[in-house]
Structure formats: structure tokens, C-alpha cells
Structure 1
Amino acid sequence: MATLPSAGAARTGNNLFLRIVAGLSTLCGWIAAAMILSAVLITCQMIFIRFVLGQSTIWQTEAVIYLVLASTLLGLPYVQLMRGHVNVDLMPLWTKGPMRKALAFLVLGSSIVIIGVMAFYAYEMWHFAWARGWRSETVWAVRLWIPYLAMPVGFGLYLLQLGADMYALAFGIEKPFGLEDN
């Protein structure tokens, strides 16, 4: 019977590329956490302004929405590094040896293709917003290229982490699905 997958971070070995990607992913995790903290503090400030002081708010709701969305997207590579994405490990547990490794390559390859397409369209959307000077239709009228930038950056770094995971799998630094063959 196979052992349960490890809950730890992806292995980097002594590989410089894998360590750099892991460092970038970790930095993204810290930035995402800071964005969530900022969103919570802004929400508290908004509640104080509206319900204690009885004044209206202008930018807070929109800023919180953009911060939470950006933290979600920028947190993707960190969650992948920590192996925190939801997964169903029934097939990996049933397969062994070369079949498990082939399944891992199939899963990573499919993920890379899908995230690559999403990164392409995210970049396109960001570029349209930047080139055309799009602004939100609110009183704050934020330039939309600023919050939209989180999409291509988040998906791009997630793609980089997936590529690092595939590299680690191909060169035996990481076991398929973190499972040891028994």
C-alpha cells in the first residue's frame, strides 16, 4: 500500500532554479497575506467611518474587492509550492511506478496548458485596460490596469511554479504526487 502524500512544501534539492522559483512563490505568499491583512484593516476602517461616524465611504469597498482578488491570484504559486490545492488522490494511490509518474506528468502538463491559456488572456485583458486607459465606473475611478495586473502576474508565477514542479519530477527531485512506491 502506498503512503499518504506529504503535506510539506515541494522539494528543491540543491537546484538553483527550483530554489529561486520556491523563493518567488514564498514571496508571493507573503504579499498575498499582506493584501488580506490590508483588506481586513480597510474593512474595519470602513465600518468605523460608516457606522460610528455616520459618513459615506468612497474607495474602501472597491479596494477590498481588488485586494482580495489580487491576493487570491498572487497566492496561487505559494499554495502550489506548499501542495495546498485541493486534490483527489484516488488514482495516484491506485497506480504504481511508471504509471504513477505518467499520471503526474499528465496532470502537470494539463495544468500548465490550462494556466498558460489563462495567463495569455489575463495578459491580453490587462494590456487592453492599460492601452485604452480603462477606469472603473465608480466615484474612485481607479485605473483598471493596476488591479488587473494581478491576473497575468499571478497566473504567470503559478505557471512558473508548475514548470518547476514538472522539472523536479522529471529529474527525480520530487516523487510523483509525493508518494513513495511500496
Structure 2
Amino acid sequence: MMVLGMLALLASALILSSSVVTRYFLHASTDWQDEASVFCLVGATFLCSAFVQAIRGHVGIEAVSTLLPERVNRVRIAIVDLGCLVFCAFFAWKSLTLLHEAWSEGQTTSSSWAPPLWIPYLLMSLGMLLLAVQLALQCAVSANKLRRSEGVA
């Protein structure tokens, strides 16, 4: 998924650059390029989120973790992961309902290009499902670590 995200980001940069050149030098309107770049950015953002979570690369506040004892910090991480899992599972579910609605009703954007809306909803749904799975794995690992530390203590 990381490679797809990188390709989507590159495609978005190329699309926006060509839009600037086309509008500035050729004085032509380009209504499709804005939506295409947004679709690419949605894909890059959501498809890479599980990988970023796997390396714990999301922005976090580390001031608290340095002050807490190791065991309390493990509990804090487990609680945060569980809360994130609940949110991401709900987000994935709602994204899937939007995907189904857009697919079954044939929804498109309101521009003259009118690409189907199921494309960004599919990217959102897939990305959030992957993120929820990653968070579920991290919750299982955290629970296992907490159980092992209780057995040692």
C-alpha cells in the first residue's frame, strides 16, 4: 500500500503542476485536474495510514510518556490504541455505507467531469479497514504485554 500511496502522491503533484502550466501558459481551464488530484491525495492519505500506524509514526505527545512509569505507560498506550480502534472501526463502517450508497445510486461529483464518488469512498474504506486491523493487532500485542508483565511482577 505504501507504494500505491507514493504513486498517488506523485500523480497528484504531476497533475497539479500540469494544471498550473496549462492555466498560466495556455490560458485553458482545467476542471478535471483539481478533482483528480484530490482523489489521489485521498488515496495516499488513507492507504498509507496503516503503515504509518505500524511504525507508530503518527504525531503524538511524548512529554507524558517520559514522565510515567513503564507499566503505566503501557496501560496508557493500550487505552489510546483501543480508543483509536473504536473510532477507526466506526469510520470504516460509515465509509463502507457511503461506498455502498455511491455505488448503488451511481453518485458522481457535481463538476463537468463528474467522476464517480465510489472511487474516493473505496479508498477511504480500504484505508480505514487496514488501519482498524493494524490497531486491533496493536491492541492484542499491548494486552499480551500487560498480561506478561502482571505474571512477572
TM-score category of the 2 structures, normalised to the smaller one: 0.7 to 0.9
Q: Secondary structure at the match of 1:105?
A: helix
Report what 1:16 is aligned to.
none
Q: Distance in 2 between matches of 1:135 and 1:118?
A: 21
More helix by share: 2
Q: Is the 8 A contact 2:39 2:119 kept in 1?
A: no
Unaligned 5+ runs, structure 2: 146-153
Query: Could you tell me the percent identity over the aligned residues?
Result: 28
TM-score where L is the length of structure 1: 0.74
Q: Alpha-carbon deviation of 1:101? A: 2.2
In the alignment, structure 1 residue 121 sits paired with structure 2 residue 104? no
Report what 2:150 is aligned to.
none
Q: Alpha-carbon deviation of 1:117? A: 0.8
Report what 1:35 is aligned to.
8
Amino acid of the structure 2 residue aligned with 1:109 = L
Q: Distance in 2 between matches of 1:103 and 1:51?
A: 52
TM-score where L is the length of structure 2: 0.86
Q: Alpha-carbon deviation of 1:80? A: 0.8
Q: Is the 8 A contact 2:52 2:58 kept in 1?
A: yes
Matched pairs, number: 145
Say which of 114, 131, 137 aligns to 2:104. Answer: 131
In the alignment, structure 1 residue 166 sits paired with structure 2 residue 139? yes
Q: Is the 8 A contact 2:85 2:136 kept in 1?
A: yes
RMSD: 1.5
Say which of 65, 70, 79 aligns to 1:92. Answer: 65
Q: Distance in 1 between matches of 2:26 and 2:48?
A: 35
The structure whose RCO (Cα within 8 Å, separation 6+) is larger is: 1
Q: Distance in 1 between matches of 2:2 and 2:137?
A: 17
Unaligned 5+ runs, structure 1: 1-27, 173-182
